[in-house]
Amino acid sequence: EAEEEEDWGGGAWVDDDKDEALKSESEDDAPVVKSKVLSSGVGRLRSRLGRALAVVAEALRAQQANGGDFDDGDAENTFADAKADGEAVDALYSAGARAAMTGVSDLLAELPPVAVDAEIRSLSLGPDDVKGREVLLAALDYFVWCIRSRRRYELAQAHLNLLLKVHSTAIGASPALRARAGQLAALQRRSWVSLQRLFHNNLCLVQQYSKLN
């Protein structure tokens, strides 16, 4: 009976716990193990950021299904028309989408840097990760919203930099992700021009009041 119980326990452990299964696999079985992970989505299910971004993706799909399109295909004109005004930018998104975006922003703001790093790294396992591509697209949509609205701008820039650095290969391998990254690049250029103008204006005021040449 003792032997039967031990065999049952070992088999149940391997079948039910995917993490232990990964540890027990040999290096020769690495492709099979990776396939199991990609299909199970174990890492993303445990990721708070992954769950929050899934809400963003669902909200944006619902908005588009109802005839609302937050992307007019011209990033620079959209940003210029919005003039970085929060209310004008919010008009591009449904109430559900705004709530989902704010939820991601609040989550990233409350997490310590180490946790943010781990959460962002867990979003995708590489170019072959289909679910990961969906999560990354939602992440890029979130950063489009951040740049348009300029909410927590500096924090969003830091997080975006990490996302692009860690997941550059996966983004480059997907046409949809490359297109969204291109929109982000256009928004970044437009937002930087506007910020640079503010810097120059402030510098002129400082020079004027301090009588510097």
**pLDDT tens digit sequence for 182-204:** 999 888 887 766 666 666 777 77
**pLDDT tens digit sequence for 99-151:** 999 999 999 999 999 999 999 999 999 999 999 999 999 999 999 999 888 88
Straight-line distance from the first to the last Cα atom of the chain, in angstroms, rounded to the nearest whole number: 92
* Cα-Cα-Cα-Cα dihedral sign, residues 136, 137, 138, 140: positive
Cα distance between residue 191 and residue 12, in whole Å:
55
CA 157 remoteness from chain centre: 12
Q: Where are the domains of the chain?
A: 39-210
